[in-house]
Amino acid sequence: MSRFLKSTLLCAGAALAALPAIAQTHGLGRPALPEEVAAWDIDIRPDGKGLPDGSGDVWTGEDLYEAQCAHCHGTFGEGMGSWPVVAGGHGTLTHEHPEKTIGSYWPYLSTVWDYVNRAMPYGMAQSLTPDEVYAITAYLMYLNDLVDDDFELSRENFTEIRLPNEDGFYMDDRVELEWPLFTQEPCMSDCKPEVQVTMRAAVLDVTPDDPIADARREQARAMAAASGGGGGADDAPEPVQAPDDTDDGAAQEASVAHSPELIAQGESLYRACRTCHQVGEGARNAVGPMLNGIIGRAAGTVDGFRYSPVLTEAGDTGLIWTEETVSEFIADPRGYLPRNRMSYAGMRDADERRALVAYLSTYSE
């Protein structure tokens, strides 16, 4: 292209940019019809503006989530493969690899509703009815321990919900604070004679081979270290005996000693449980209750954890977690205690359950 032609095109472009917007339409198209605008105008504001009529409860949302969402986001919202985690992550925003979930990071519930409504399920966007979106949103809140299992979300109570990290966001103030600083005349005198590196980045997120897998592995190592878990049989904790009785005085079956090999196998299987349950020193309640001392304990009695009513009632009526009852429960949680909060599909292999229970039995309170 000649220098003259290039200059002419640049001048023409500048002239067109200076014309009113209406002069650049070239006579193409037409104004959008009101119904066409309405079809695109589906965003939801934090104050609830834009929400349609409708409602949905947690249990309906669970059925919809398992059918439409769990294959990507996991049964407990823990994420599958490279698909994002949507539950948990509480208290991780200061960690090197924070879990930015609905419960730990998102500022407004309207963002959840809008995203599910606008973009989900993957490949079938905007196929859900308003009632279904309300139900799935309610279940996501439940997975993040924000509501009870009898909660129903609707347009009327939507704005009453506040996500935990709402105050962690603030308006972008770079124009006021940074623009004046970086538009000053730069200092070009009295420079330092040499540059010294005083700090180094501990985590580099610059094109890693697999950032999601790396973050998962780092989290697993941190949790293993916190819980006292090791990498094999040589690191397995010494077996302990279950308590002989509980608060109600009922005699309990003592936990038998297990081989280090079986405990190591159980530790490996337990990695699938760590998203929701912690064990070991410093264990705390997360999506599920911490499991220290589970063998010999009455069901639904961990301090500070909000159980489903059916599990609390089971404990009140005498259900004690022995190695046998724990094994029966994890084989089919919903079949063993219908309508309990644990939506895990179950561990069918009896040998795997025996190994997992052996590992759990090594942790006392």
Per-residue pLDDT band at 206 (split at 50, 70, 90)? very low
Sequence-separated (6 or more) residues with CB below 8 Å from residue 283:
226, 227, 290, 291, 292, 363
Give the per-residue pLDDT at 95. Answer: 85
Q: Over 80: is that where the pLDDT of 22 sits?
A: no
Give the DSSP letter string of 193-251.
Answer: SS-------S---SS-S-HHHHHHHHHHHHHHHHHT--SSGGGPPPP-PPPSB-TT--B
Give the DSSP letter string of 53-108.
Answer: S-EEEHHHHHHHHHHHTHHHH-TTS---TTSPP-S--TT-TTSSS----TTTT---
State pLDDT tens for residues 218-276: 555 555 555 554 443 334 333 333 334 444 333 333 334 788 889 989 988 887 787 67
* Listed range (14-23, 95-104, 229-238, 292-301) with the worst mean pLDDT: 229-238
Separation CA 319–CA 227 (nearest Å) = 27
State pLDDT tens for residues 135-148: 999 999 999 999 99
Q: Over 80: is that where the pLDDT of 212 sits?
A: no
* Three-class SS state of 278: coil
- Range 248-280 burial, b when 16+ CB lie within 10 A, else e: eeeebeebeebebebbbbbbbbbeebbbbbbbb
Sign of the torsion formed by the C-alpha atoms of 321, 324, 325 and 330: positive
Per-residue pLDDT band at 285 (split at 50, 70, 90)? confident
Give the per-residue pLDDT at 115. Answer: 96
* H or E stretch covering 35: helix 34-40
Portion of the chain with pLDDT greater than 70, in percent: 77
Count other C-beta atoms under 10 Å from residue 105's C-beta: 18
Residue 16, both tokens: 């067109």
State pLDDT tens for residues 70-112: 888 988 888 877 788 999 888 889 887 888 999 999 999 999 9
Q: Over 50: is that where the pLDDT of 192 sits?
A: yes
- Residue 61 or 26, more confident: 61
Count, residues in the chain: 365
Separation CA 357–CA 349 (nearest Å) = 12
**Over residues 13-24, mean pLDDT:** 50
* Three-class SS state of 288: coil
CB contact at 8 A, 160 and 154 = no
Separation CA 284–CA 291 (nearest Å) = 9
State pLDDT tens for residues 145-180: 999 989 999 999 999 999 999 999 988 888 888 888
245 pairs with which residues across the strands?
Answer: 251
Mean of the per-residue pLDDT values of the chain: 80
Portion of the chain with pLDDT greater than 90, in percent: 39
Beta-strand relationship, 55-57 and 152-154: antiparallel
Give the per-residue pLDDT at 307. Answer: 86
Separation CA 324–CA 273 (nearest Å) = 19
Separation CA 62–CA 55 (nearest Å) = 14
Plot region of 246 (φ>0 → left; ψ -120 to 50 → alpha; else → beta): beta
Give the per-residue pLDDT at 226. Answer: 57
Separation CA 339–CA 308 (nearest Å) = 8
DSSP 8-state class, residue 154: E
**Over residues 110-121, mean pLDDT:** 95
State pLDDT tens for residues 33-65: 999 998 888 999 999 999 999 999 999 999 999
